Amino acid sequence: MPYDNWTDPDAVFTTLALLPNGESRSLQAPAGWRLMEVLRDYGLPIRAECGGACACATCHVHVAESGRLPLSAPEDDELDRLAEIFDADDSSRLACQILTGPQTDGLAVRLAQGSLRDDSLRDDPLRDDFVAGGVS
């Protein structure tokens, strides 16, 4: 079913959030929420300093390869913010620019190290496998 025509107001969509230390959380949200808000509301340590205005890059996440196609392409302002991040790559997105909905159901994202509030979580041994598309 095309995402543009999707209208079930009671549906909830699940996204898997992976922290660099290997911890993972299953997050549920209705359509239309910014992924950054969902991460923050679940208590994950994302900095998100501008509150979703796409004015910083402190909600940087890496999207698993299998989930990239259903997402809308990043707009120019998001690409400008991503260009400011030293470890941004093809998997990089800003969580404030990803809206929840059918396109995020089953999506896996890994919070980027520079987007974390808590230094104790900055250990990323599985990042290369994740970015290549493998989420075990």
* Confidence at 33, pLDDT banded by 50, 70, 90: very high
Candidates 25, 32, 27, 9; CA nearest to 103 is 32
Q: Distance of alpha carbon 25 from its chain centroid, rounded?
A: 12
Query: Does 51 score more than 50 pLDDT?
Result: yes
C-alpha distance from residue 53 to each of 23, 59, 97 (Å): 28, 11, 9
Q: What is the dihedral of CA 28, 93, 47, 37, to 10 degrees?
A: -30
Sequence ranges of the domains in the chain: 17-130
Q: Which of 47, 14, 35 is nearest to 113 (CA)?
A: 47
Fold of the CATH domain 17-130? Ubiquitin-like (UB roll) (3.10.20)
Task: Look at residue 124 in the predicted model and tell me its pLDDT.
Answer: 47
> What would the mean pLDDT of 63-83 be, rounded to a whole number?
91
Angle at 99 between CA 62 and CA 102, to 5 degrees: 95
